[in-house]
Structure 1
């Protein structure tokens, strides 16, 4: 089912994926400088999607980076949203190995109610970081450096407020924006999960929504074949359709 073409990432695709988050930061800085504050939530949403998509691919070594490049990509992509890329790698790979077990800190919100997943937002990344810290001593240098990011950004933003409010606004939006992760990236894709790989998550099909989310809506396909990069998930979904139909899996249609 998985042929070599589904694993391909061209140099251009790799560059676009890795630079898209930083282009988003540049756009945010521009609209903040112009005083177009009403645009900043839209730009921040685009940054979140860009970072989550490329970090997903980096974690799964799906876009052709070596080990050293992967470490630095995790660091800098995490820096964009003031998060720990290494904590994400450690806990996300555990999620793929063990969901829905009790030893899956990333998947924990899937066991909560809708409201519980919302309330869990402010502590989610901190608990992932602490789980990674305890389980992976070899990554503690990266984890410490990445843990300093949000504090440094908030302090620097407060000090620079008389010159420009942009940095503090960015930091607050990045930190608060991460509070939706348990709901959007865990609870909604996984709640009411079944006992088999085909029933533990969902897939959303359409043209507009998957494009806006850079193919992150193909969550079932990703769980079945995490080595496939995000830009090939739409094609993977088409190839899996006969298997899904035979197994009674019904993709959810969205615009």
Structure 2
């Protein structure tokens, strides 16, 4: 039984859970077309403004690839299993140095034990709320590439299972992090990207428009997304209180919350509902009067304020 059956009928869940190969193809294509369009704009009109815009857009769509891989981990991106596996591994995971199987194993543990002592994601949420100074330091390390460089230098998280969602790994984890088919897929995918960017205008476009966003903007928006989902919420097993949904406008959806990832509480209620149906699920919960009991934020500004609400220690 999923937590959603407390609030939804089985027919409602069945309707919301319908998968579509057309939707999956459209989402993956959209993500890559946005990435290429941002790169093309800079190549066509090179200046500081278009470079910064490309860096932000591409970094946000790298997060989009991680989100679509997350969809594939729930077998919700495509209806056809082999398409789900292929897109999740090659088109979404490998370009950002992530592995679908390792992520799925880890992530399902998170769903099973959300905000309990057995939640493997607890180290991401438990530090919050923190102080404003601490949050500023974290965000500064992200946007300046310090977090990303540290992680990639350590060969990207053990088995890539967090897709870059932590700042520390053990030596045993690192020994298993980057080998076999995972490394092969990552190298092939990035070799293809290198060739595409070189064709666009030069070899330097890959480090400038793929690697740099991955080390900076991607890390920043990834952290903000992580905080929004489980940071500064109740430490309990109530699915309406241990997970947050963040209401997002067009700009926030473009740069912080692509592909409906902001509807995280709804995702935890019925984790196999495809992302494009999460707004419908949210609306249905509102119709049923559940919204008053849900942990909701009126935007990412509210999330960051709640996550940094611990008072700073007074100077000695």
Q: What is the TM-score with the length of structure 1 in the denominator?
A: 0.77
2: CA distance, partners of 1:175 / 1:188:
20
Structure 1 residue ranges without an equivalent (≥5): none
**Mapping of residues 176-195 of structure 1, within 5 Å:** 176-180=216-220, 183-194=223-234, 195=236
- State the partner residue of 1:221: 266
Q: Is the 8 A contact 2:21 2:79 kept in 1?
A: no
Distance of aligned partners of 1:177 and 1:94 in 2 relative to their CA distance in 1, 3 Å threshold:
farther
Q: Does 1:202 align with 2:244?
A: yes
1:168 aligned partner: 207
Give yes or no for the alignment of 1:233 onto 2:243.
Answer: no
2:157 matched residue in structure 1: 127
1:214-246, Cα deviation, whole Å (9 max, x unpaired): 311111111111111111001101112235246
- Change in CA separation of 1:140 and 1:81 when aligned onto 2, cut-off 3 Å: closer
Q: What CA deviation, in whole Å up to 9, does each residue of 1:142-201 have, x standing for no partner?
A: 3333565799699999x99x9442111121212333423662232232123321222111
Moved more, 186-195 or 119-128: 119-128
Please tell me whether residue 22 in structure 1 is matched to residue 32 in structure 2: yes
Instruction: Pick the structure with more helix per residue.
Output: 1
- Runs of 5+ unmatched residues, structure 2: 1-7, 163-171, 301-316
Distance 1:174 1:61 in 2: 25
Following superposition of structure 1 onto structure 2, how do residues 92-131 of structure 1 map, counting pairs within 5 Å?
Answer: 92-113=107-128, 114=130, 115=134, 118=139, 121-122=147-148, 126-129=156-159
CA RMSD of aligned residues (A): 3.8
Mean Cα deviation higher: 169-178 or 216-225: 169-178
Larger Rg over CA atoms? 2
| TM-fit CA distance, 1:110 | 0.5
Number of positions where the alignment pairs a residue of Structure 1 with one of Structure 2: 249
Q: Which residue matches 1:51?
A: 65
Q: 1:102 to 1:8 in 2, by over 3 A?
A: same
Per-residue CA deviations over 1:68-108 (Å, capped at 9, x if unaligned) read 33332122212333433443323222211222345544442
